[in-house]
Structure 1
Amino acid sequence: MKNWRTTGTKAPFAKITLLVMMVLTSYVNAQKREISITEALELSYSSNEKIKQYDERVQQRVYENKAAKGNFLPALNLLGGYTYLSENIEVNTSQISSSLDALGAKYGAAFIETYGEAIGLSGVTAESAFTTLNTVLGQFPSYPNMVVDNQQFPTAALTATQPLYTGGKIIAAKRYAKAELRSADIELIQVKDEIANELVERYLNLVLLKQVIKTRKEVYKGMLKHKEQTERAIQLEILPKHILLRAQVAVADAQKDLDNDLNKEQLAMMVLRTTMNLPDSIQFKVMDSITYRELYLDFEALLNTAYTKQPILGLIGQKEEMAKQALALEKSKFMPTIAAFGTYNMFRDELPVVPPQFIVGVQAQINLFNGFKDIHLLQAKKHLQKEVENAKEYATQQIHLLVQSNYINAQNQQKLYNSLSATVELAKENLRINTRRFEEGLGKSIDVIDASLLYEKAKIEQLVALNSYYQAIANLYTAVGEPEKIILFINT
């Protein structure tokens, strides 16, 4: 499987230099600089806002992946506060009177056992003394509550927790975060592929319009010349006056078609500028034409490349990993969680009840029952895995269909272009013959007009077929995950 990790999309120095040169060219020389399709793609990669958006998403996943590593490390927290009590704390002695009586009797019996002879109680045993004292103390009135004279005190403690065993939860979370990072990488590649395909399509459309406009101007120029020849022939009374009307209509139609395509060219320029994210102040032009090159395609090789490099399959592969780790997370809920902890208490002497300075230990926790929620979630994640498996199978079938349809389309467009080449040559020769016959007074004006329109139609159809041929190849390379390959093919 292809390594989907990518670097950032920051513009290198060469791209920045290109932009500076374009700005200087537009303001100093007031001339349009030609941008090759390669330069246009580099500008799109460095300036397109959608690519920047997904690059930021990658950076977000990078830090989330780093954050997931922190679950393996101990957590250290400093807790601090200030407490004020409306009244002093009191110990309710009525609830512990029996314990106090027993404690007093115990100490009294120990005293008699030790110093009984000195005070004239040498014959009294410790057991009898304890029983007598405990009975006597039990007859006394209740003890008054003991008051802790401290209504306000600060608290501070430093605590540390280190997970020892979580049933695989931390490892699954880390792998899940890594899969999300790889998914973001692949999404960025997918967006760049889409932008590359969009750039090629819009660039080629602009080149096509330039060629169509060139053909329109050629036909328009021919129509004007024919109209002038018709006017001279009418002045010489060789042709009737109504023949001029046909020539004038043909010139008007040619002018209309030319103006329409010029407007389309401006719109296509705006669309291409948007893909490259160039400001209106930077003037540019594209290459004048693209020559035909025959391409030999190996369908099986293309299909194998698609299975390896198609971003969709890469995304589904990461979805599989995420579903696997989500299942592992649910399984971890049925395992115990074991963690070591430690606490260092500060301001101990300020507290009503003095805690020890250090507390360390190990704790284990396991859920016994939560309404079958974990069991149901575990089953849900199992079905999620099966869903992703089915999605992968479906996507593989669709990619096979996509590659095959674009492969067939590229072959059909190639055949169409080759067949139109002969048609254009015949139409051009037909126009030359009819123009010559008219100039020699042997042909009709309508024949020249029809021949011009026939040549224009055939030539434009050939240009459209050439554009469709390259567009089909671009779509094919995009389908297999190598959209930039069409640029190498065009530039060669």
Structure 2
Amino acid sequence: MNKSNRRLSIFLIAAIGISSFSSAQQLEPILKELIQKGLEKSHAINIHNLDSKQAKVDQKLAKVVFLPKVTFNSSFTRLDNDITFDDDTQNLLIATQKLLIKEAIGIPFNDALPNNIPLSEIPNLQSKNILKSSVDVDWILFSGFEATNAYKASKHKEASLNYVVIAKKDKIALKIIETYDKLALVCASKRVLISSKKYLDEQEYYVKKAIKNGLAIPLNRKKIELAKQQLAAKQLEYNHNKSLLVEVLYQLTGENRKSLSLVNPTLRSFSTEFSNPEKRNEIKALEEAEKATIFKAKMEKSNFIPKIALKGHYEFIEEDLSLLDPKWYVGVGIQWNAFDGFKSKLKSIKTKIESKKYRAQIENANEMIALSIMKAELSYEAALENTKIVKKEIELASDTYEMINKQYKNNLTSINDVLDALNDLEKASFKLQNSYYNERRAITNLLHAKGILKY
């Protein structure tokens, strides 16, 4: 086998072996790293994570309803005057005081009270300077299940948001994998271009040698030069495509552009062994959202259930209290919202309708997922069949090129036939890489549709 054919065989073995070598592989380490960086960079995921944290705070708010609320109060008030009894009441209280004193010391009822016996002043109902310092305790003992249902609604809302985050991560991972595979396809085209350049350089050598020996004409050399110019145009297209894909990866992952430009991926197939389908995160998110609305409706409906609360109050400064103010008190009360103009009922009906919307979305999503699984399976089957066909095309194009090249070297055919055969081999080689790309796309979509995509 001559040098040209050895290079051709090595190239074909490498191109075909790229897929078979990694048939049991999953994602490449560098691709996994890019996906993780993309997930960390994603603003959409960060926003949903913050929403999830808010839902967790809502759960805590629902739970702390049952904790006692302690409030310390302090105030100073100055009235325009002391609040006292009216004159008749004061005279009555003084007369009563005199009767009690006379009875105590044994003075007859009708005798006058001696002047040397002092009388107590009638206290004010409230002094005009009022300094108060107190503590209040409010403790909800029973919320009519409103707080309990609010907690459960927030719990399911948090779960829904968490599943939304995972679903968003899947979409970002799919986008990065697709871009990475496109870059691999572009790099595959680069390898084909390099191989083609080697063949053209070899043909140019033979053409120059043939011209010197009078076995070829200068027109053949011009045809080689034209083919090399066309190859240079393809090289420019490769550079543009790679630069564009590097920029897309930079936008998705935030990775340094220089580092991304050094990435030289190859097309590798995923494992063809699929586990049983799992419920998609989009479905889980909708189901949790549906449960959240159910408990929200119960929360709104429980507005009619009586609420029980404990109230406590204690005054630290007793001196400035009025004669009617207690120093402390404790009480238990019931609040029953018997009729609110149908407001709570209408809110509950509205929330139930929202729950039905989620159920409709779940059924629609399940139908779409089933369709996407079937579509991905058919695409994968078609890609595998296409790969077999392209491998046969490469085998035929390789044998054809080898035969025509030998004929040309023996002056049995023209340079045009050689260039055409080389072009057919180049196209077939790239078609194989493109078939690997389509196969990988179908597998990735199938894994995602079944909910078993791992990254």
TM range (shorter): 0.7 to 0.9
Change (3 A) 1:403 1:104: same
In the alignment, is residue 150 of structure 1 matched against residue 92 of structure 2? no
Give the equivalent residue in structure 2 for 1:179. 156
Do residues 425 (structure 1) and 395 (structure 2) align? yes
Q: CA deviation at 1:154?
A: 3.6
Counterparts of 1:328 and 1:292, CA distance in 2: 50
Alignment of 1:242 with 2:223, yes or no, is: no
Query: 1:416 corresponds to which letter in structure 2?
Result: N
Contact between 1:89 and 1:150, CA under 8 Å: does it hold in 2? Answer: yes
Shift of 1:281: 6.2
Q: Which amino acid aligns with 2:363?
A: E
1:131-150 equivalent positions in 2, closer than 5 A: 149-150=127-128
Judging changes above 3 Å, is the alpha-carbon distance between structure 1 residues 358 and 320 closer, same or farther for their aligned structure 2 residues?
A: same
Change (3 A) 1:288 1:171: closer
Please state whether the residue corresponding to 2:430 is helix, strand or coil. helix
Kept in 1: contact 2:183–2:265 (CA 8 A): no
Instruction: Please tell me whether residue 372 in structure 1 is matched to residue 342 in structure 2.
Output: yes
Tell me which of 78, 83, 88 is aligned to 2:72. 78
2:81 counterpart (88, 91, 95): 88
Matches within 5 A, 1:408-423: 408-423=378-393
How many matched pairs?
415
Question: 1:9-408 to 2 correspondence within 5 Å?
Answer: 36-45=30-39, 50-84=44-78, 87-88=80-81, 100=89, 118-119=109-110, 149-151=127-129, 153-280=130-257, 282=259, 285-286=262-263, 288-291=265-268, 295=272, 301-302=276-277, 305=278, 308=279, 310-351=280-321, 355-408=325-378
Tell me, yes or no, if the aligned pair for 1:88 and 1:148 is still in contact at 8 Å. no
Q: What's the TM-score, normalizing by structure 2?
A: 0.80
- Identify the range of structure 1 (376-385 vs 326-335) with the bigger mean alpha-carbon deviation: 376-385
Moved more, 59-68 or 329-338: 59-68
Q: CA deviation at 1:37?
A: 3.1
Distance 1:90 1:420, change over 3 A: same
Q: After alignment, is 345-354 or 441-450 more displaced?
A: 345-354
In structure 1, the partner of 2:8 is none
Pick closer, same or farther for the CA change 1:82–1:203 going to 2, 3 Å: farther
- TM-score (ref. length: structure 1): 0.74
User: How far 1:421 moved relative to its partner?
Assistant: 0.9
CA 1:49–1:316 in 2, change beyond 3 Å: closer, same or farther? closer
SS in structure 2 at match of 1:205: helix
CA distance in 1, matches of 2:159, 2:299: 19
1:226 deviates by 2.3
Residue identity opposite 1:475 in structure 2: N
Counterpart contact for 1:48–1:277, Cα < 8 Å: no
Question: Would the aligned equivalents of 2:85 and 2:125 in 1 still touch at CA under 8 Å?
Answer: no
**Match for 1:454: what amino acid?**
D
Alpha-carbon distance, 1:249 to partner: 1.7
Q: Contact (CA 8 Å) 1:474, 1:483: kept in 2 or not? A: yes
Deviations 1:90-117 (CA, angstroms, capped at 9, x unpaired): 57969xx8xx599779959988x98997
Query: 1:181 and 1:422 mapped to 2: Cα distance?
Result: 54
Q: Is the Cα contact below 8 Å between 1:150 and 1:352 reproduced in 2?
A: no
Gap runs ≥5 in structure 2: 1-27, 112-123
C-alpha distance in 1, partners of 2:86/2:212?
A: 135
Q: Corresponding residue for 1:457?
A: 427
- Per the alignment, in what secondary structure is the counterpart of residue 371 of structure 1? coil
The match for 1:139 is: none
Distance verdict in 2 for CA 1:104–1:150, change over 3 Å: closer
Instruction: Tell me the alpha carbon deviations over residues 433-470 of structure 1, each in whole angstroms, 9 at most, x when there is no partner.
Output: 22222222111111111112111112111111101101
Other-structure match for 2:439: 469
Give CA deviations for 1:376-417 in whole Å, capped at 9, x if unaligned: 212212222222222221121121112221122111111111
- C-alpha distance in 2, partners of 1:353/1:406? 85
Q: Retained in 1: the 8 A contact 2:179–2:245?
A: yes
State how far apart, in whole Å, the 1-side matches of 2:91 and 2:302 are. 50
Deviation sequence 1:263-298 (CA, Å, 0-9, x none): 322332333344343234656744653455772557
On the 8 A contact 1:323/1:385 being kept in 2, the answer is yes
> Percent sequence identity over matched residues?
19
Quick check: 2:408–2:414 contact (8 Å CA) kept in 1? yes
Deviation sequence 1:31-50 (CA, Å, 0-9, x none)? xxx95334444444556555
Q: Which amino acid aligns with 1:37?
A: L
Contact 1:207 1:286 in 2 (8 A): no
CA contact (8 A) 2:65 2:147 kept: yes
After superposition, the Cα gap between the structure-2 partners of 1:56 and 1:101, relative to the gap in structure 1 and judged at 3 Å, is closer
Deviates more, 1:448-457 or 1:57-66: 57-66
Q: CA separation in 1, counterparts of 2:380 and 2:46?
A: 32
Larger RCO, structure (CA 8 Å, separation 6 or more): 2
Distance 1:48 1:104, change over 3 A: closer
2:7 corresponds to: none
**2 CA distance for matches of 1:391 and 1:267?**
37
Once the two structures are TM-superposed, the CA of residue 186 in structure 1 deviates from its matched residue by 1.3
Partner of 1:19: none
How much has 1:185 moved relative to structure 2? Answer: 2.0
Q: Which amino acid aligns with 2:158?
A: L
Please state how far the C-alpha of 1:158 moved relative to its aligned partner: 1.4
Contact 1:197/1:483 (8 A) holds in 2 = no
Question: Counterparts of 1:81 and 1:222 in 2: how far apart (Å)?
Answer: 97
> Structure 1 residues 90, 357: closer, same or farther in 2, change over 3 A?
closer
Compared CA separation, residues 180 and 277, structure 1 to 2 (3 A):
same
Using the TM superposition, give the Cα deviation of residue 328 of structure 1 relative to its aligned residue in structure 2, in angstroms: 0.8
Contact 2:220–2:415 (8 Å) recurs in 1: yes
